Amino acid sequence: MIKLQRVDKKFGDFKAVSNLDLQVKPGEIYGFLGPNGAGKTTTVRMMVGLLQITSGIITIGGYNVANQPVAVKKITGYIPDTPYVYPRLTMNEYLDFIEDIYNLDSEESSPIREKYFRKFRLDEWHQDLIKNLSHGMKQKMLLTGVFMLQPEVIVIDEPMVGLDPHSSRVMKNSLREQAKNRDTAVFLSTHSLQVAEEICDRVGILARGRLLAEGKFEELQQKESETLEEVFLRLTEEKTSTSVK
C-alpha cells in the first residue's frame, strides 16, 4: 500500500534522506523511528506530497506521489506534527469543511464524527473557535477528521504531542481498529518507543537519512531480554560512532 524505492531528498548539498527503501502492507502499522534530525519528518512530507522528491519513487495505493498527487490525497489521511488549521473556524465548521472537500456522505461521516467526539471528550468544545483550543484539542480534532475519511492509508507524524493519557489510549485503539477492520495501512513516525513497541507490527529505524534496520521487534533483538529502547540506542549509536570514524 505504501512503497518507497531508492528515495533521496537533498537540500542544497545536504542529503536529508538517502536511498530509502521500505514498504507497508494493507492492515499493517509501521513505526518509523529515529533521533532528531534523522529525516523522519522529511520522509513523511515527501510521502504526502508536501516536499518534492529529489530522486526515487513513492507510491501510495499504487499511485505515484509525484505524478498523481490528487489520487494519493483522496485515499490518504495525514496528521502533521503541528496542527495547522484555520483558526477562525469552529471545530464543527472545520469538520464540515473536511466533509465538503473530500465529498463525504454526511449520513456516513456524521456518526463517525459523533463517535470520536464522545471518545475524545470533545462534545463541549465543538462550537468553539479553533484559535481558542489547546494543541491537544486540535490534535484530537484532526484525528477525528482523518477517521471520518476512512482512508486506505493513514500517515501520522508524532501523534502523541499534546494528547492526555486517555486520548492517547483512544488513538492507539482506533489505529488498531482501522488497521484490523478496514485493512488500513498506518505509517507512524514517532519518538515514543513505548507506543511503537505497543502497537506497531514492524518498525524501521532511521539515522542520518538512512534506514539502519527494519522488521518485527523480535527480529531486531540481539537477545530476548533486549527492549526496543535498547535496540534503538544500539543501532543509532553504532551508526553515529561509525560516521565519526
Instruction: Provide the whole-model pTM.
Output: 0.91
Q: What is the pLDDT of residue 238?
A: 64
Q: What is the mean pLDDT of each run of 10 residues along the chain (245 residues)?
A: 97 96 97 92 96 97 96 95 89 95 93 94 90 91 94 91 87 93 94 87 94 89 78 76 43
Query: What's the CA angle centered on 231, arms 243 and 37, to 5 degrees?
Result: 45
Domains of the chain and any CATH numbers: 2-75+152-244 (3.40.50.300), 86-150 (no CATH)
> Which own/partner contact pairs does 61-70 have at CB distance under 8 Å and 24+ positions apart?
61/1, 61/152, 61/153
